[in-house]
Amino acid sequence: MSLVRDVLGSAQRLPLAVQAWVFLVLMPVNLAALVVVGQPLGPLVAALAVGALAVNGVVMVLDRGFSLAMALPHVVLWVPLLGVIGYALLGRDDVGGAYAAYLVVLLVVDAVSLWFDVPDAKRWLAGQRDTF
């Protein structure tokens, strides 16, 4: 089977709610960080937000689909991202308007994702290596 077919098949085997979350919320909100690179802390926000997605592209290729290993880049990069966002929103006077609103959305989306990612990362570290 081809790699593309394996990855697409794996994505289709995810529960429909997970597919909707990943493809309609999680990815678009994190990819939108590329639009704010000109804002205060924008390059760091974009690097952390999009970096996790990029690393997961590699994980998908290596695992030939979606696996619990995809939680690891989220935990490693998005936990610091939440701190950066908190600092941007609470510790800087030059962050406001639409950028601040976007940061709040990114904070909420990635915090929700991490709620699921931390247990998934623990399961992967404990040896659960199945691909969906």
> pLDDT by residue (tens digit) across 119-132?
999 999 999 998 89
CA distance 64 to 10: 8
Q: For position 71, what pLDDT does the model report?
A: 97
pLDDT digits (tens, 9 = 90+) for 80-107: 999 999 999 999 999 999 999 999 999 9
Radius of gyration of the chain (CA): 16
pLDDT (tens digit per residue) in 24-68: 999 999 999 999 999 999 999 999 999 999 999 999 999 999 999
**pLDDT on residue 1:** 67
The whole-angstrom separation of Cα 47 and Cα 34 is 8
